[in-house]
């Protein structure tokens, strides 16, 4: 049931503890908008919506990365070990795993899937990455697979098989997919659940709601890997607006709410005191991996001048941005790494090396900003805008219109730049156009999060800004949209690439790269991202919180399996 | 048909086809003028969830090729025309391999059901209110009350919708919050299902009706005032006709003609105009689908929906032109 | 100007076609109205015989199915701007229905002001006023009383008189008067008919007097054409025709004229 | 007989009418309506003199303050502030006129186009009609939203007028069709013939003779276009496609919605702008109704 | 219908005053008018245009609409005062007891309803639903009574000529066989042939129904043919009333005399008798002139007071 006004035999809203379907169901908020193709269950095509239950209930990952500890936990996989050069990786999966139709899940399926990606076109998810890294894949025995890479990659397991942010590479059953065109296969038959290994099966799918029922014959329970999860039924419900989400959650119609603003969360908690979040007090939220940035197009004058970029940086008041755009629910960022303990170590390295003193990135100093601008030949009369050769100093900041958080901080940046005499305007664009402009370099400034990727090690985010990713304005590239070229930086990052994770040798090239980056400041980290998840404890407890931090609380990611297995009915305690 | 000459009908139908072609062509080129690219948009969407998509450059290239987006525009245009003529809208670009036809088919009944019904309701309610505002015999109490009902129109209906949600859903808990029907029921002609559709539809319908009623009422009032002085009304009164008969068959019947045109013209606007209602109430209709398609630069879905819109609007306009002489026998399409 | 007649109707035919049904409103009607001397030509006929259609055609409000209307030898359908203005200036009208001809938005004054302005009759405001007052005086009205009224405040007869005044004001060469007296009382009718006579004699204005009231035609008409089912069935000097009708329909028409004597009733002859 | 021998049946002392007829424009509804709209305009314009309008910018004030009479409120921000630190009073002062401006630009532009094309199509007929009808039909079918998304990608900075013009670009088709239909049934009216008889130029016939009689209808349409334009603009703003730095009432309202103002009990955030919008709308409605009475002499003097 | 003493007139109008509100003050369009209409009688109501004839007609039916209003007076019909009863009481009596053929019937038909529907409306409102065939029969009969072809049944008003519309109105008026018919210039748009037919039909029907009729017009010749008594209105007053013979033979009021003198004739062409007249300003309040009886049932207004002096005919 759901929002039906007490109808349909199911207990009405607020019928806490009354047993019935509601008490055995966990209802998740799905906030990605309506799913217009609920009959598409092909995880290999990019248009497929994975987080409406697919990778939380149907498909299980091989490993799950715990952001709190930095450890990777085995799930379907038992181990994934590299050789000493990180070029040959051996995957071992558990014994006794079965697909939901009873067939065995084994090395053949994995080899089949990887080969599908290797041999098919680049249009499949992860196909490009596999083609790039994997030379060959072969079955060793029923539960072991050997990956031979083209070149060393110490992050092979982390990046593709461990739910590093959001999801991971999906292994598909060979007996179902054999002979199908992987780009066109829908993998859906009305009335039947798509075949995967998870403890739930799909029972209904509509653009606004997905329902899954627990499977008694889940392999994990049979093999003793884990008992069946307690929830008998899972639902993902689309709520179009934050108000609706809060309304539903106030009414105990949602057990988990994703991505709330602080104000909404506070009013939700006022209505429904059973609601908890990661932190009991402000900022409530869990740090999200994608640091918020203010990108300046390094290919466009005057922002191609590093001093001008620094001038802009001095005009920024990050504390004010946090206070206003985030209403105090996050912290300013001084580097583009997310706020996780493993990454914090790297930022501390920069600190210790005195680089933040040399390049005082967090210093809000409007006068310095003006001084730099004036030193570039700009003049300003009174409170007007700076001009040079009759041309106004202006910048247009693009922000995606459907992403409130982003345009809110863009607006504050706009005001701050206005204050120092830069005519900054904020333009909200439809997501597709915004992204396209960014990729093609058709922008002056943009509010974005394109340094995303590193969560336990520095290389991934840093390599995004290597010179080799730079393409001319008008050509598309999803990395280094700011079009920053610096060969010293690129060289240092390449040195990190091949070192095993956690290798002490990383420190030197890392600091070298960080120094160059800070000096050039191709884009400005603004604030750390936060994801505010709210959980209703009326029916279920066991949610991930900082106090019980067995995992990050990201229920829309593929790591949700672990949380779902942790949930307990409230009244059963 | 009365008042119609064959020549007129032939010309009118020719215009009908021409308009469809012109609109369809515009809708082919307009989205392609924007910098957005459907595949890029798709990648952007994934990036906003996953942070980063590796190898997205190749991904984009591969899909562009698959969709023929790299073909010369003319080739794309011709295949577009072909697909429109055969009503085969192809695959969604953003959710490949979902078919556009299926997506539209899923959304259409809701749009027709909710939006068309409430548009017609608001037309009727507004027209009656407008008529009563202008009618001499309207009781004094109503006279005071009627203009008040128009103040709803003065509230942007997003606010109206939210206030409705707030009052009826949060506070009074009379209606379900969102969606088109209770999802534990499967669509069909069962009592429970119909009941839940009605329950879910009431608030969105109410907000549309309240918000747009005033415009109809104003237009109607204006026409009623114009009609009010006509001699035939005096004769009707002399005939001792019942006041309501006069109101409906003589006054409203004459005053409503231009309103009907407005209604028909409005039908085309229904989908585009109510994106926000659907959004606000989580209603699974075409407006929301269109909005998603636009922001995802999903050309095929956009084209599919717009083509349907074009067809409905142009057909409605054609029909009104052909039927108008029946409604208003004075109109004749004879060449002057 | 050429010596071609002021107005010539050349085998005018008008067929209304509707839902497959054809109504021949005018059937090959020809008519010539010379520039001088000014005459009053009566078109009489039963209701629906095409009188208004003929007047519409002459005024250029309807296009003929075939035939031509010539103003000074030129087809009125294809006049250049200047000639068109002359044509409008020279051929004016008084309509059958005095109710619709006033724009309800404006005061009565509008009708006169427009005419004065459009045809450049006056050079000053005062002169315009004077002209208007003059015209009103002819129909027994005063500007102060009517000019600032709205049309709906006037009776039918008042409106008709005003139309007459407007026509007088313009002093055209020809006035097509479609039932100008059907809505006025007897005394006004005399007044209006008298105005017509005066306009003819003093101003040399010709009239195409469309009526079904033969007694008035008898009083003022010079020539008469009897229309019957779209064609002219009889024409000639008014008095001759009325005194001695030849065509069967003319006879019926004339025998139906009411006799203004309560003691001499209509003979209850066999009527349709 | 001497026609000049005039006999007057009665010669009453005929004073020229000294009682000046009360002007039809002195219509109560019209005045009240105009008063409301002008009131908003004047108040907000005067407000500029006394209130710092830069407070309408983000980050200029403390966040989320209630109006001064509520606990936590302050006279420094008498109507409270919203969640980006904008002062509500300043927002109203800046937003009121810009909102009116949107309405007027949309109303005037779409009506002017609608009237010109509608009259041309209805009165001229034939090929002109066919062309105009095809144009307007085409314009009717294109979803405004699609075009706006495209345009917004090209306009460097959307200002209020640009946005209004864009809205108007798609708002003319409706009025055109409606006016055309009216003209079609009006062109055989007696006074139109009279005007033709007076050799009035076609444009005078259309605009001086026919149009005044359509005034009630046009007024309603115009007001509809104005308020429709404001609503459309609010809708665009809700979708983030409006001007950014210049606050309008619509932008404030849509910010309130995206900022969960209702949930958070921050009624002043959406309440005040809505109130001003309502005053504007009701004012516009009253003007429309009043115009009816002005245009329709039959209604004059009849009690309200 | 009620059976009262035959001396009781079918309709009695007394003290009727109707004003129109205008921006320049009230127009007194009907100034204290009295007259009676005998059973079976035809009363002609003639007068200058603008003298208030139509206003009287409308007031009798209580159809005066703003800015006009009935200020005083009563209209006795069948023992009840039409002006005093409630709207609900009045409605069923309209058309059944008293019908109207309006002036300007050009615009009196609803443009969007077919002729048949408009006739049926009148019938069914008062007599309830009727079987289709019977109704059709009846309507066709009514149309034939006024010499309209059967095809008119299915036509819309704009497809009729002026005369046809007027006849449709007449057919409508006689549909319920009312006791009183008020005909406001019923034949002014008709050619003489049809006029005669229609007029005679009207009289015929009237006679058959034994109804009474007020025939408003300005065609004195037609009046002479049709009416029993005649009332002459001038500037809102009835200035002379009497049998048609008396009034024609011995017109007393200067205006009446003028009216009769100006009747055009087809027997001889005589000079038009023209008088330029100025109606008094109807906005000024004026006493209604006392009536003097100059013969049996022949009343004339004291011209010194009311209409003023009429000079000698020219
Ligand atoms: N617009 C039209 N469509 C179809 N038929 C028409 C139209 N106008 C006139 N007619 C027909 O043409 C014929 C002549 O009409 P017209 O108005 O010229 O008659 P008329 O002589 O002026 O009659 P009346 O004396 O009643 O005014 C009539 O039969 C009429 O029904
Ligand atoms: N709505 C109105 N407002 C002001 N005055 C009006 C109105 N209607 C009629 N009148 C005036 O009332 C007087 C009587 O008008 P009424 O229509 O009764 O005249 P009538 O005798 O029927 O004339 P006709 O023979 O021309 O039809 C006229 O002077 C007229 O100007
Ligand atoms: Mg005629
Ligand atoms: Mg009258
Ligand atoms: Ni539901």
Contacts of B123 in chain D (CB under 8 A): none
pLDDT at B268: 64
**Of residues B229, B231, C23, the one with CA closest to residue E106:** B231
Min distance D172 CA to chain A CA atoms (Å): 26
> What tokens were used for A248?
């539903």
Report residue E193: phi and psi, to 5°. -65, -50
Q: How far is CA D97 from CA B151, D100, D103, D253, in A?
A: 20, 5, 10, 15
Under the banding of pLDDT at 50, 70 and 90, the label for residue E102 is confident
Least confident of A60-74, A271-285, A515-529, C35-49: C35-49
Q: What pLDDT score was predicted for residue E283?
A: 63
Residue D301: predicted pLDDT = 38
Could you tell me the pLDDT band of residue E189, with boundaries at 50, 70 and 90?
A: low
Closest C-alpha to ligand 1, atom 16 = C50
Q: Which of E17, E20, E44 to mutate to test the pocket of ligand 2 (most atoms within 8 A of CB)?
A: E20
Band the pLDDT of D219: cuts 50, 70, 90. Answer: confident
- Position C34 scores a pLDDT of 85
E52 lines ligand 2 (CB under 6 A): yes
Per domain, the residue ranges of chain C are 24-102+171-255
Q: How confident is the model at residue A334 (pLDDT cuts 50, 70, 90)?
A: very high
Instruction: Please indicate whether, in this complex, the C-beta atoms of E67 and D302 are within 8 angstroms of each other.
Output: yes
E312 belongs to a structural domain:
no
- pLDDT classification of B274: cutoffs 50, 70, 90: low
Q: Are residues E155 and E272 in the same domain?
A: no
3-state helix/strand/coil string of C102-125:
CCCCCCCHHHHHHHHHHCCCCCCH
Cβ burial, residue A228 (10 Å; 0-12/13-18/19+): middle
Least confident of A79-83, A401-405, D33-37: A401-405
pLDDT at A53 over 90: yes
Task: Report the separation in Å between the CA atom of A137 and the middle of ligand 3, taken as the mean of its atom positions.
Answer: 98
Find the range with the poorest average confidence among A504-518, B194-208, E117-131: B194-208
**Residue E304's pLDDT band (cuts 50, 70, 90):** low
E218 and E240 assigned to the same domain: yes
Tokens of B177: 């919050």
Is the CB of E125 less than 8 angstroms away from the CB of B245? yes
Residue E76 included in any domain: yes
CB contact (8 A) between residue D212 and residue C99: no
Contacts of C40 in chain E (CB under 8 A): none
Ligand 5 midpoint to CA A215 (Å): 24
Q: Which pLDDT score, from 0 to 100, does residue A512 have?
A: 96
Closest-approach residue (CA) in chain B for D29: B147
Residues E14, E154 within the same domain: no
- Residue from the list B57, B62, B92 with its beta carbon closest to the beta carbon of A47: B92
Alpha-carbon distance of A153 to A133, in angstroms, equals: 8
Q: For ligand 2, say whether the CB of C127 is within 6 Å of any of its atoms.
A: no
Physical contact, D and B (3 or more Cβ pairs within 8 A): yes
Q: Give the distance (Å) from ligand 3 centre to CA of residue C140.
A: 26
| Closest chain B CA to residue D226 | B215
CB contact under 8 A, B225 and D145: no
> What is the atom index within ligand 2 of the atom nearest the CA of E30?
14
Nearest to A293 by CA among A313, A311, A276, A277: A313
Report yes or no on chains A and C touching (3+ CB pairs under 8 A): no
D67 vs E268: which has the higher pLDDT:
D67
Give residue A19's pLDDT band: very low, low, confident or very high (50, 70, 90): low
Instruction: Inform me whether the pLDDT recorded for B223 exceeds 70.
Output: yes
Q: How far is D261 from chain A (nearest CA, A)?
A: 8
Cβ–Cβ below 8 Å for D85 and A425:
no
- Contact residues, chain B, for D30 at CB < 8 Å: none
Q: How many Å apart are CA A28 and CA A235, to the nearest integer?
A: 6
Question: Residue A190 burial by CB count (10 A; 0-12/13-18/19+): exposed, middle or buried?
Answer: exposed
Report the percentage of chain D scoring pLDDT > 90: 13
Mean pLDDT for all residues in chain A: 90
Do A254 and A237 contact (CB within 8 A), yes or no?
A: yes
The tokens 């294109």 sit on which residue?
D142
The runs of H, that is alpha helices, within chain C are 51-58, 81-90, 109-118, 125-138, 143-146, 156-170, 186-198, 214-220, 238-243, 248-255
| Segment among D24-28, D138-142, D218-222 with least mean pLDDT | D24-28
Half-sphere exposure of B241 (CA within 13 A, CB side): 23
Q: Whose CA is nearest to atom 4 of ligand 2?
A: C153
Structure tokens at A573: 């305690």
Q: Nearest CA of chain C to the CA of D131: how many Å?
A: 23
- Among A136-145, A190-199, B139-148, whose mean pLDDT is lowest? B139-148
**Structural domains in chain E (count):** 2
Evaluate whether residue E245 is within a structural domain. yes
Chosen domain end from E153, E177, E201: E177
Measured between alpha carbons, how far is A39 from D43 in angstroms, rounded to an integer?
56
What confidence score (pLDDT) does residue A178 get?
A: 93
CB proximity A396 to D under 8 Å = yes
Mark whether E246 and E110 lie in a shared domain: no
Question: Closest to E65 (Cβ–Cβ): which among B234, B240, B257?
Answer: B234
Within a domain: E168: yes
User: Whose C-alpha lies nearest to ligand 1, atom 19?
Assistant: C48
Interface touch B3/C18, C-beta < 8 Å: yes
Residue C85, exposed/middle/buried by CB under 10 A (0-12, 13-18, 19+)?
A: middle
- Whether A534 shows a pLDDT value over 90: the answer reads yes
- Interchain pair C17, B5: CB under 8 A: yes
CB contact under 8 A, C97 and E54: no
CB contact under 8 A, B195 and A7: yes
Q: Is A27 a residue whose pLDDT tops 70? A: yes
Average confidence (pLDDT) over E211-237: 86
pLDDT band at A275; cut points 50, 70, 90 = very high
Shortest CA distance to A368 belongs to which of A316, A332, A415?
A316
Residue E50 counted as domain residue: yes
Q: D4-49, pLDDT tens digit by residue?
A: 333 333 333 333 333 334 555 667 888 898 899 999 999 988 988 9
Interface of D with E in 244-303 (CB under 8 A): 300-303
Contact assignment for E276 to D10 by CB distance below 8 Å: no
- Asked whether E244 and E230 are in contact (CB, 8 A), the reply is yes
Which CATH number is E189's domain given? 3.40.50.300
pLDDT score for B221: 81
Dihedral-angle region of residue A526 (phi above 0 means left; psi in -120 to 50 means alpha; beta otherwise): alpha
Q: What pTM was computed for the model?
A: 0.77
Query: Using a 6 Å CB cutoff, which residues line ligand 1?
Result: C 16, 18, 23, 25, 45, 47-53, 96, 212; E 161-163, 189, 191
CATH for D44-303 (2.40.10.120, 1.10.3720.10, 3.40.50.300, 2.40.50.140) = 1.10.3720.10
Least confident range of B242-251, D188-197, E260-269: E260-269
Ligand 5 centroid to residue C33 C-alpha, Å: 83
In DSSP notation, C47-115 reads TTSSHHHHHHHHTTSS--SEEEEEETTEEGGG--HHHHHHHHHHEEEE-S-TTTTS-TTS-THHHHHHH
Please state, rounded to an integer, the average pLDDT across all residues of chain B: 77
Return the residue whose CA atom lies nearest to atom 22 of ligand 2. E54
Instruction: Give the integer Cα–Cα distance in Å for C231 and C208.
Output: 16
Q: Does the C-beta of C37 come closer than 6 Å to ligand 2? A: no
pLDDT tier, B336 (very low <50, low <70, confident <90, very high otherwise): very low
**pLDDT score recorded for residue A55:** 93
Q: Looking at residues A260-267, what average pLDDT do you find?
A: 87
pLDDT value, residue B333? 47
pLDDT at A130 over 90: yes
Q: What percentage of chain A reaches a pLDDT higher than 70?
A: 96
E128 and E57 belong to one structural domain = no
- For the cut 80, the answer to whether the pLDDT of residue C61 exceeds it is yes
Nearest to B235 among E100, E158, E159 (CB): E100
Higher pLDDT residue, A222 or B26?
A222
- Note whether E185 and E300 are same-domain residues: yes
The structure tokens 């006392």 sit at E290
Closest atom of ligand 2 to E52 CA is 18
Task: Tell me: pLDDT of A188 over 50.
Answer: yes
Please identify, among E158, E177, E196, the residue that sits at the C-terminal boundary of a domain: E177
Nearest to A62 by CA among A120, A107, A26: A107
| Least confident among A173-187, A414-428, B17-31, D83-97 | B17-31
Q: Where are the domains of chain D?
A: 44-303
pLDDT of residue A13: 39
Host domain of residue E244: 4-97+180-307
Name subunits touching E (3+ CB pairs < 8 A). B, C, D
Centre of ligand 3 to C-alpha E50, Å, is: 23
User: Considering the domain boundaries, does residue E33 fall inside one?
Assistant: yes
**For residues A456-478, average pLDDT:** 90
Q: What per-residue confidence (pLDDT) applies to C266?
A: 67
Q: What are phi and psi of A74, to 5 degrees?
A: -75, 145
CB distance D253–B156 less than 8 Å? yes
**pLDDT of amino acid A573:** 52
Look at residue A64 in the predicted model and tell me its pLDDT: 95
Q: Which pLDDT value is given to residue C252?
A: 85
Clarify whether residues E284 and E155 are in a common domain.
Answer: no
| Mean pLDDT along residues E193-204 | 78
Instruction: Check if E35 has its Cβ closer than 6 Å to any atom of ligand 2.
Output: no
Average pLDDT over residues C123-127: 88
State which ligand 1 atom lies nearest to the alpha carbon of C53: 18
User: In terms of pLDDT, which residue wins out, A11 or B313?
Assistant: B313
Q: Is A408 in contact with D149 (Cβ distance < 8 A)?
A: no
Ligand 2: residue of E27, E70, E220, E259 to mutate (most ligand atoms within 8 A of CB) is E27
In terms of C-beta density within 10 A (0-12 exposed, 13-18 middle, 19 or more buried), how is residue C77 classed?
Answer: exposed
Distances (CA, A) of A244 to A240, A263, A555, B111, D262: 7, 14, 19, 20, 11
Chain A CB contacts of D58 below 8 Å: 324, 411-412, 414-415
Same domain, E273 and E204: yes
Query: Over pLDDT 90: what percentage of chain A?
Result: 68
Does E41 fall in a domain?
yes
Output the residue whose Cα is nearest ligand 1's atom 18: C50
Tokens representing D167? 């809205």
Looking at the domain assignment, is residue E103 inside a domain?
A: yes
pLDDT computed for residue D7 by the predictor: 31
Q: Domain C24-102+171-255 is in which class? A: alpha beta
Is the shortest distance between the CB of E54 and ligand 2 below 6 Å? yes
Mutate to test the pocket of ligand 2, among E16, E31, E44, E50 (most ligand atoms within 8 A of CB): E50
Would the pLDDT of A388 be above 90? yes
pLDDT class for A488, splitting at 50, 70, 90?
very high
Give C146 Cα–ligand 5 centroid separation in angstroms.
70
* Average pLDDT of chain D to the nearest whole number: 79
pLDDT at E290 over 80: no
D222-276: pLDDT as tens digits: 877 887 788 778 777 776 677 777 788 888 888 888 888 877 888 899 889 988 9
**In the predicted model, what is the mean pLDDT of residues A167-177?**
93
Residue identified by tokens 């069709």 is D177
pLDDT recorded at residue E310: 39
Above 90 in pLDDT, residue D199? no
Going by alpha carbons, the residue nearest to atom 14 of ligand 2 is E52
Task: Select the more confidently predicted residue: D219 or A442.
Answer: A442
> pLDDT band at C269, cuts 50/70/90?
very low
pLDDT value for D10: 32
């Amino acid at each position: 049931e759901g929002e039906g006004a007490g109808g349909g035999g199911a207990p009405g809203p607020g019928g806490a503890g009354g047993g019935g379907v509601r008490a055995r169901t966990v209802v998740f908020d799905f906030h990605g908008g309506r799913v217009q193709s609920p009959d598409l269950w092909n995880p290999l095509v990019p248009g497929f919506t994975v987080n409406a239950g697919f990778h939380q209930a149907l498909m299980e990952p091989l490993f799950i990365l715990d952001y709190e500890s930095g450890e990777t936990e085995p799930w379907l996989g038992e181990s994934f070990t590299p050789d000493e050069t990180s070029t040959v990786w051996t995957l071992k999966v558990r014994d006794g795993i079965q697909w939901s139709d009873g067939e065995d899940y084994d090395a053949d399926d994995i080899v089949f899937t990887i080969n599908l990606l290797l041999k098919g076109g680049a249009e499949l998810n992860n196909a490009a990455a596999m083609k790039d890294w994997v030379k060959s894949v072969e079955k060793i025995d029923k539960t072991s697979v050997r990956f031979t890479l083209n070149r060393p990659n110490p992050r092979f397991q982390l990046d593709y098989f461990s739910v590093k942010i959001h999801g991971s590479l999906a292994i598909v059953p060979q007996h179902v997919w054999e002979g199908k065109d992987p780009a066109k296969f829908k993998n859906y038959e009305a009335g039947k659940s798509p075949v995967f290994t998870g403890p739930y099966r799909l029972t209904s799918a509509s653009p606004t709601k997905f329902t899954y029922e627990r499977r008694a014959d889940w392999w994990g329970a049979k093999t003793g890997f884990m008992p069946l999860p307690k929830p008998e039924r899972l639902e993902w419900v689309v709520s179009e607006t934050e108000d609706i989400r809060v309304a539903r959650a106030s009414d105990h119609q949602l057990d988990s709410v994703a991505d709330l603003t602080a104000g909404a969360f506070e009013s939700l908690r006022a209505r429904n005191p059973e609601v908890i979040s990661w932190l009991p007090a402000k900022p409530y939220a869990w740090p999200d991996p994608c640091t918020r940035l203010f990108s300046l197009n390094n290919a466009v004058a005057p922002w191609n001048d590093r001093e001008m970029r620094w001038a802009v940086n001095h005009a920024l008041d990050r504390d004010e941005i946090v206070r206003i755009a985030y209403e105090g629910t996050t912290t300013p960022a001084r580097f583009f790494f997310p706020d996780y303990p493993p990454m914090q170590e790297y930022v501390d390295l920069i600190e210790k090396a005195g680089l933040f003193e040399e390049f005082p990135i967090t210093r809000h100093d409007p006068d310095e900003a003006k001084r730099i601008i004036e030193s570039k030949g700009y003049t300003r009369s009174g409170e007007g805008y700076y001009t040079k050769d009759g041309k106004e100093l202006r910048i247009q900041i693009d922000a995606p219109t459907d992403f409130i958080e982003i345009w809110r901080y863009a607006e504050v940046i706009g005001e701050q730049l206005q204050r120092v005499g830069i005519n900054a305007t904020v333009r909200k664009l439809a997501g597709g156009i915004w992204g396209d402009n960014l990729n093609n370099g058709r922008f002056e400034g943009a509010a974005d999060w394109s340094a995303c990727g590193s969560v336990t090690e520095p290389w991934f985010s840093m390599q995004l800004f290597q010179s080799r990713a730079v393409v001319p304005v008008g050509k598309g590239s999803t990395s280094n949209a700011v079009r920053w070229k610096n060969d010293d930086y690129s060289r240092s990052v390449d040195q990190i690439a091949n070192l095993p994770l956690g290798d002490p040798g990383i420190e030197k090239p890392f600091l070298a790269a960080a120094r160059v980056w800070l000096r050039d400041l191709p884009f400005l980290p603004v604030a750390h991202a936060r994801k505010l998840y709210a959980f209703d404890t009326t029916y279920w407890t066991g949610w991930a919180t900082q106090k019980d931090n067995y995992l990050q609380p990201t229920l829309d990611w593929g790591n949700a399996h672990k949380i779902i297995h942790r949930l307990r009915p409230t009244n059963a305690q | 048909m009365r008042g119609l000459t064959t020549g007129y009908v032939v010309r009118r139908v020719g215009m009908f086809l021409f308009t469809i072609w012109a609109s369809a062509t515009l809708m082919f080129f307009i989205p392609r003028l924007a910098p957005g690219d459907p595949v890029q948009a798709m990648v952007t969407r994934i990036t906003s969830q996953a942070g980063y998509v590796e190898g997205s450059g190749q991904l984009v290239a591969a899909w562009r090729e698959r969709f023929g987006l790299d073909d010369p525009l003319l080739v794309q245009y011709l295949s577009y025309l072909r697909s429109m003529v055969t009503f085969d809208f192809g695959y969604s670009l953003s959710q490949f391999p979902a078919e556009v036809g299926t997506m539209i088919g899923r959304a259409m009944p809701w749009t027709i059901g909710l939006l068309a019904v409430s548009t017609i309701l608001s037309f009727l309610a507004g027209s009656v209110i407008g008529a009563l505002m202008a009618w001499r015999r309207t009781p004094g109490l109503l006279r005071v009350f009627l203009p008040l009902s128009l103040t709803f129109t003065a509230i942007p209906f997003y606010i109206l919708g939210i206030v409705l949600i707030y009052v009826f859903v949060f506070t009074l808990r009379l209606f379900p919050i969102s969606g088109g029907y209770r999802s534990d029921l499967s669509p069909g002609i069962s009592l429970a299902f119909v009941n839940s559709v009605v329950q879910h539809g009431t608030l969105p319908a109410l907000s549309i009706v309240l918000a747009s009623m005033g415009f109809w009422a104003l237009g109607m009032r204006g026409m009623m005032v114009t009609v009010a002085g006509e001699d035939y009304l005096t004769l009707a009164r002399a005939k001792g006709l019942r006041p309501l008969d006069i109101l409906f068959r003589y006054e409203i019947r004459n005053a409503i003609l231009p309103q009907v045109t407005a209604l028909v013209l409005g039908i085309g606007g229904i989908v585009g105009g109510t994106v926000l209602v659907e959004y606000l109430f989580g209603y699974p209709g075409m407006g929301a689908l269109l909005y998603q398609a636009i922001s995802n630069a999903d050309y095929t879905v956009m084209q599919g929906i717009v083509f349907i819109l074009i067809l409905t609007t142009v057909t409605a306009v054609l029909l009104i032109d052909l039927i108008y002489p029946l409604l208003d026998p004075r109109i004749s399409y004879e060449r002057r | 100007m050429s010596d071609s007649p002021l107005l010539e109707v050349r085998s005018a035919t008008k067929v209304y076609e509707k839902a497959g049904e054809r109504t021949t409103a005018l059937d090959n009607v020809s008519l010539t109205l010379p520039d001088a001397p000014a005459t009053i030509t009566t078109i009489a006929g039963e209701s629906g015989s095409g009188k208004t259609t003929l007047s519409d055609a002459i005024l250029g409000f309807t296009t003929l199915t075939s035939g031509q209307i010539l103003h000074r030898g030129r087809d009125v359908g294809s006049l250049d701007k200047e000639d068109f203005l002359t044509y409008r200036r020279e051929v004016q009208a008084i309509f059958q229905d005095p109710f619709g001809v006033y724009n309800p938005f404006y005061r009565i004054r509008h009708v006169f002001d427009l005419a004065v302005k459009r045809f450049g009759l006056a050079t000053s405001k005062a002169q315009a006023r004077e002209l208007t007052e003059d015209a009103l005086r002819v129909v027994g009205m005063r500007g102060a009383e009517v000019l600032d009224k709205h049309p709906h405040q006037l009776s039918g007869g008042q409106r008709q008189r005003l139309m007459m005044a407007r026509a007088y004001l313009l002093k055209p060469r020809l006035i097509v008067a479609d039932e100008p007296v059907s809505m006025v009382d007897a005394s006004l009718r005399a007044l209006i008919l008298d105005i017509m006579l005066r306009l003819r004699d003093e101003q040399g204005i010709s009239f195409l007097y469309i009526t079904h009231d033969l007694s008035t035609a008898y009083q003022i008409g010079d020539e008469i054409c009897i229309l019957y089912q779209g064609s002219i069935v009889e024409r000639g000097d008014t008095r001759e025709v009325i005194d001695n009708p030849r065509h069967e329909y003319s006879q019926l028409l004339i025998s139906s004229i009411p006799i203004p004597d309560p003691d001499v009733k209509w003979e209850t002859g066999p009527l349709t | 007989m001497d026609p000049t021998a005039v006999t007057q049946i009665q010669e009453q002392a005929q004073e020229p009418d000294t009682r000046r007829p009360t002007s039809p424009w002195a219509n109560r509804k019209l005045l009240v309506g105009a008063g409301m709209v002008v009131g908003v305009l004047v108040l907000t314009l005067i407000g500029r003199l006394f209130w710092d309008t830069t407070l309408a910018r983000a980050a200029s004030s403390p966040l989320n303050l209630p109006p001064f009479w509520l606990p936590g409120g302050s006279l420094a921000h008498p109507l409270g502030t919203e969640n980006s630190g904008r002062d509500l009073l300043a927002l109203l002062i800046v937003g009121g006129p810009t909102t009116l401006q949107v309405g007027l630009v949309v109303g005037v532009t779409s009506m002017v186009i609608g009237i010109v094309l509608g009259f041309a199509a209805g009165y001229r007929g034939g090929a002109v009609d066919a062309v105009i009808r095809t144009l307007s039909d085409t314009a009717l079918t294109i979803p405004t939203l699609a075009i706006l998304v495209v345009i917004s990608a090209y306009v460097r900075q959307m200002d209020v007028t640009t946005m209004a013009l864009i809205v108007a670009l798609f708002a003319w088709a409706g009025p055109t069709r409606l006016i055309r239909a009216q003209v079609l049934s009006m062109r055989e009216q007696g006074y139109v013939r009279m005007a033709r008889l007076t050799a009035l130029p076609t444009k005078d016939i259309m605009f001086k003779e026919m149009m005044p009689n359509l005034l009630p209808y046009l007024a309603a349409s115009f007001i509809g276009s104005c308020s429709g334009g404001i609503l459309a603009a609010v809708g665009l703003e809700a979708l983030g496609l409006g001007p950014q730095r210049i606050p309008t009432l619509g932008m404030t309202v849509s910010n309130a919605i995206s900022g969960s103002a209702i949930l958070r009990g921050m009624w002043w955030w959406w309440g005040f702008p809505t109130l001003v919008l309502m005053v504007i709308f009701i004012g516009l409605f009253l003007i429309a109704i009043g115009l009816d009475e002005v245009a329709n002499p039959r209604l004059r003097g009849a009690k309200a | 219908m009620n059976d009262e003493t035959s001396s009781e007139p079918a309709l009695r109008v007394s003290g009727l005053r109707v004003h129109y509100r205008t921006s320049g003050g009230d127009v007194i369009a009907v100034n204290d008018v009295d007259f009676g209409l005998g059973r079976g009688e035809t009363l002609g109501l003639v007068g200058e245009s603008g003298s208030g004839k139509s206003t009287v007609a409308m007031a009798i039916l209580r159809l005066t609409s703003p800015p006009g209003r009935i200020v005083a007076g009563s209209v006795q019909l069948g023992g009840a005062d039409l002006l005093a009863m409630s709207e609900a009481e009045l409605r069923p009596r309209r058309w059944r007891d008293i019908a109207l053929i309006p002036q300007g019937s050009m615009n009196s038909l609803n443009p969007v309803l077919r002729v048949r529907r408009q006739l049926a409306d009148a019938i069914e409102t008062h007599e309830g639903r009727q079987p289709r065939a019977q109704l059709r029969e009846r309507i066709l009969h009514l149309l034939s009574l006024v010499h309209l072809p059967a095809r008119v049944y299915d036509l819309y008003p704009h497809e009729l000529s002026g005369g046809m519309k007027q006849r449709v109105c007449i057919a409508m008026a006689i549909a319920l066989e009312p006791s009183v018919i008020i005909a406001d210039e019923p034949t002014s748009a008709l050619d003489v042939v049809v006029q005669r037919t229609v007029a005679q039909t009207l009289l015929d029907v009237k006679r058959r129904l034994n109804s009474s009729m007020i025939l408003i017009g300005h065609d004195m010749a037609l009046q002479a043919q049709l009416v029993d008594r005649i009332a002459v209105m001038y500037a809102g007053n009835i200035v002379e009333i009497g049998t048609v013979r008396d009034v024609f033979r011995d017109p007393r009021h200067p205006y009446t005399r003028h009216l009769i003198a100006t009747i055009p004739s087809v027997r001889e062409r005589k000079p038009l008798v023209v008088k330029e007249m100025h109606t008094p300003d109807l906005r000024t309040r004026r006493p209604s002139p006392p009536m003097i009886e100059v013969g049996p049932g022949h009343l004339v207004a004291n011209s010194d007071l009311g209409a003023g002096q009429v000079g000698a005919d020219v």
